[in-house]
């Protein structure tokens, strides 16, 4: 395969054949296509886009870079949820055990942080002992046994996405509809699902800045997934404000567990609203049933079962959960005035947390699991306390965060009216 020719063809707006795309993905997965050439190819796709046929070919080639999980016949439908990426977006953590308790099988293959958005795998790895690297066999047997497994792409499962995802993260090639479609669906099709619910985000901190672009992404994913036999619904949701009150890997795990214990977000209901809305889109479920199951306490127990199954040290986790803070430097970020919070800019918040060490700027950067922000005040709330708390590794990092945070918040005298979180539903039952 002459990969240089493919780069040039894509750069000049040409359409690539399915065979050429399959060859490129295989070459990259085997290591015969180097990172620098793949990065150039991804940037050409970012600018030129892909036709439907190209997107389909890329998705299937990425899926087939590994195994498609094979589950035994069972009455419990195979379902999953995936988000296109947000700040404070921890919905998968409470949702996965909830779905298992609702009688679904949930083989959830997630990703790491991408750009300023957090990743489920990075969050889970802040739990002492927890492993996200499951073999295909372990994945299937755990899902059969306890109804849920949460893992990442591996050498066996969607390996092409594992490598491409990491490269896109550091080459400015994330916000591309065909690349996001192929990345997400390669993993979801490898799970052999019956049904999928997508949370497609738009706004300041989303890869799709406008609702129109998010709708186009949602259609791309829903149409291709449906064509591949997976019943798929997409929620279009706003990503101007972080979800919940915590951003940062361990801080988000804590908030997710609080949500499973009925205290999600300490009075902020957006996390729970999204968890319930996602569950309600799945065949055989509705919001009342999902809410009642969440309140039963069973999903909290299921979460512990999941942690134990994937190697977590439950005793160490409980001790860590009881600690109010685990980062070396913790300080309040005070408000500059009185009134109401009018805006909490999720993009600035995401950048601050990434630069505190909660995300990556280079492929090999190591995540600092304890850093981030919590106690975030939400738009519409009266300013009667600090706007948030900064968790950092050093005083200098906390100073840097405080300086940047000054631009994230806007205060007004009047209580602002708020836009809805869930704006539109596409596809569906
Ligand atoms: N989530 C993914 O799995 N891939 C993307 O490209 C974006 C969000």
pLDDT value of position 360:
85
| Top mutation candidate among 42, 114, 178, 200 for ligand 1, by most atoms within 8 Å of CB | 114
| Top mutation candidate among 180, 202, 205, 237 for ligand 1, by most atoms within 8 Å of CB | 180
Do 244 and 338 belong to one domain?
no
Specify the ligand 1 atom closest to the Cα of 180.
6
Domain-located, residue 259: yes
pLDDT value of position 361:
79
Q: Ligand 1 center to residue 18 CA distance, Å? A: 22
Domain-located, residue 101: yes
Protein residue with least CA distance to atom 1, ligand 1: 84
| Top mutation candidate among 168, 184, 214, 239 for ligand 1, by most atoms within 8 Å of CB | 184
pLDDT over 80 at 216, yes or no: yes
Do 350 and 294 belong to one domain?
no
Going by pLDDT thresholds of 50, 70 and 90, the confidence category of residue 341 is very high
Do 187 and 328 belong to one domain?
no
pLDDT value of position 168:
93
Question: What's the pLDDT tens digit per position in 285-333?
Answer: 999 999 999 999 999 999 999 999 999 999 999 999 999 999 999 999 9
pLDDT over 70 at 264, yes or no: no
Protein residue with least CA distance to atom 5, ligand 1: 180
pLDDT over 70 at 72, yes or no: yes
| Top mutation candidate among 183, 202, 205, 237 for ligand 1, by most atoms within 8 Å of CB | 183
Q: Ligand 1 center to residue 85 CA distance, Å? A: 7
Q: Which residues of 219-244 are buried (b: 16+ CB within 10 A; e: fewer)?
A: bbbbbbbeebebbbbbbbbbbbbbbb
pLDDT over 80 at 266, yes or no: no
Specify the ligand 1 atom closest to the Cα of 117.
8
Specify the ligand 1 atom closest to the Cα of 179.
6
Going by pLDDT thresholds of 50, 70 and 90, the confidence category of residue 429 is low
Specify the ligand 1 atom closest to the Cα of 184.
3
Do 34 and 112 belong to one domain?
no
Do 401 and 278 belong to one domain?
no
Catalytic residue numbers, as ranges: 80-83, 120, 168, 183, 187-188
Specify the ligand 1 atom closest to the Cα of 207.
7
Helix (H) or strand (E) holding 237: strand 231-238
Going by pLDDT thresholds of 50, 70 and 90, the confidence category of residue 428 is low
Helical residues (DSSP H) of 1-135, grouped into ranges: 3-11, 18-30, 35-48, 52-63, 92-101, 120-124
Protein residue with least CA distance to atom 2, ligand 1: 184
List, in sequence order, every beta strand (DSSP E) within 126-207: 148-152, 195-202
* Least confident interval from 106-115, 147-156, 206-215, 358-367: 358-367
Q: Ligand 1 center to residue 219 CA distance, Å? A: 15
pLDDT value of position 327:
97
Residue 374 is part of a domain; what is its CATH number?
3.90.1170.30
Do 280 and 337 belong to one domain?
no
Q: Ligand 1 center to residue 247 CA distance, Å? A: 19
Q: What is the DSSP string of 251-301?
A: HHHHHHHHHHTT-GGGG--HHHHHHHHHHHTSTT--HHHHHHHHHTSHHHH
Domain-located, residue 128: yes
Domain-located, residue 224: yes
Protein residue with least CA distance to atom 3, ligand 1: 184
Domain-located, residue 32: yes
Do 337 and 290 belong to one domain?
no
User: Which residues span the domain enclosing 30?
Assistant: 3-49
Do 307 and 341 belong to one domain?
no
Q: What is the mean pLDDT of the chain?
A: 95
Most confident of 91-100, 259-268, 354-363: 91-100
Do 96 and 228 belong to one domain?
yes
pLDDT value of position 189:
97
Number of structural domains in the chain: 3
Q: Tell me how long the chain is.
A: 429
- The answer to whether 62 touches 90, Cβ cutoff 8 Å, is no
pLDDT value of position 114:
84
Q: Ligand 1 center to residue 86 CA distance, Å? A: 10
pTM summary value: 0.95
266 or 184: whose pLDDT is higher? 184
Pairwise CA distance, residues 329 & 359, whole Å: 18
Do 300 and 213 belong to one domain?
yes
Going by pLDDT thresholds of 50, 70 and 90, the confidence category of residue 38 is very high
Q: Ligand 1 center to residue 191 CA distance, Å? A: 15
Which one-letter DSSP state was computed for residue 247? B
Instruction: Quickly tell me which residue has 């109804």 as its tokens.
Output: 147
Residue 29 is part of a domain; what is its CATH number?
1.20.970.10
Q: Ligand 1 center to residue 161 CA distance, Å? A: 9
Do 147 and 282 belong to one domain?
yes
In the three-class reduction of DSSP (H, G, I as helix; E, B as strand; rest coil), residue 234 is classed as strand
Domain-located, residue 56: no
Instruction: Quickly tell me which residue has 């957006």 as its tokens.
Output: 270
Q: Ligand 1 center to residue 82 CA distance, Å? A: 8
Residue/partner pairs of 34-40 with CB below 8 Å, 24 or more apart: 35/167, 37/3, 37/4, 37/7, 38/164, 38/167, 39/167, 39/171, 39/173, 40/7
Question: What's the pLDDT tens digit per position in 394-418?
Answer: 999 999 999 999 999 999 999 999 9
pLDDT value of position 363:
73
Do 41 and 87 belong to one domain?
no
Residue 181 is part of a domain; what is its CATH number?
3.40.1030.10
Domain-located, residue 68: no
Protein residue with least CA distance to atom 6, ligand 1: 180
Largest CA distance in the chain: 64
pLDDT value of position 351:
96
Pairwise CA distance, residues 67 & 221, whole Å: 21
Domain-located, residue 161: yes
* Pocket of ligand 1 from Cβ distances under 6 Å: 84-85, 111, 114, 180, 183-184
Protein residue with least CA distance to atom 8, ligand 1: 84
Going by pLDDT thresholds of 50, 70 and 90, the confidence category of residue 265 is low
Question: What's the pLDDT tens digit per position in 73-120?
Answer: 999 999 999 999 999 999 999 999 999 999 999 999 998 888 888 899
């Amino acid at each position: 395969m002459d990969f240089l020719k493919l780069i040039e063809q894509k750069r000049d707006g040409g359409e690539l054949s399915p065979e050429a795309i399959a060859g490129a993905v295989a070459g990259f997965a085997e290591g015969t296509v180097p990172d620098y050439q793949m990065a150039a190819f991804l940037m050409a796709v970012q600018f030129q886009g892909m036709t439907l046929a190209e997107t389909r070919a890329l998705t299937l080639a990425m899926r087939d870079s590994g195994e498609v999980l094979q589950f035994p016949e069972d009455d419990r439908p195979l379902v999953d949820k995936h988000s296109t990426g947000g700040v404070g977006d921890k919905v998968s953590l409470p949702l996965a055990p909830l779905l298992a308790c609702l009688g679904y099988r949930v083989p959830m293959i997630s990703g790491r942080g991408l750009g300023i958005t957090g990743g489920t795998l990075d969050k889970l790895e802040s739990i002492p002992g927890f492993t996200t690297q499951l073999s295909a066999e372990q994945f299937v047997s755990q899902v059969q046994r306890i109804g849920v497994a949460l893992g990442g792409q591996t050498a066996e499962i969607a390996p092409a996405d594992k490598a491409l995802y990491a490269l896109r993260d550091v080459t400015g090639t994330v916000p591309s509809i065909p690349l996001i479609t192929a990345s997400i669906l390669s993993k979801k099709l490898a799970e052999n699902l019956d049904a999928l619910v997508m949370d497609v985000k738009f706004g300041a901190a989303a890869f799709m800045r406008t609702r129109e672009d998010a709708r186009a992404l949602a259609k791309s994913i829903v149409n291709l997934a449906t064509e591949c036999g997976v019943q798929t619904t997409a929620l279009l949701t706003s990503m101007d404000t972080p979800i919940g009150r915590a951003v940062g890997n361990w801080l988000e795990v804590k908030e997710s567990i609080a949500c499973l214990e009925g205290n999600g977000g300490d009075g902020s209901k957006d996390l729970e609203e999204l968890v319930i809305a996602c569950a309600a889109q799945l065949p055989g479920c509705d919001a009342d049933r999902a809410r009642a199951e969440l309140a039963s306490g069973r999903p909290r127990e299921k979460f512990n079962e999941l942690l134990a199954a994937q190697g977590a040290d439950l005793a160490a986790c409980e001790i860590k959960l009881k600690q109010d803070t685990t980062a070396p430097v913790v300080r309040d970020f005070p408000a500059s005035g009185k009134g109401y919070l009018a805006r909490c800019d999720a993009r600035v918040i995401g950048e601050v947390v990434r630069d505190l060490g909660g995300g990556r700027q280079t492929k090999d950067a190591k995540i600092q699991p304890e850093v981030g922000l919590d106690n975030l005040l939400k738009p519409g709330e009266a300013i009667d306390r600090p706007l948030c708390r900064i968790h950092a590794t050093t005083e200098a990092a906390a100073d840097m965060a405080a300086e940047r945070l000054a631009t994230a918040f806007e205060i007004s005298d009047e209580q602002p009216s708020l836009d809805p979180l869930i704006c539109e539903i596409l596809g569906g039952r």
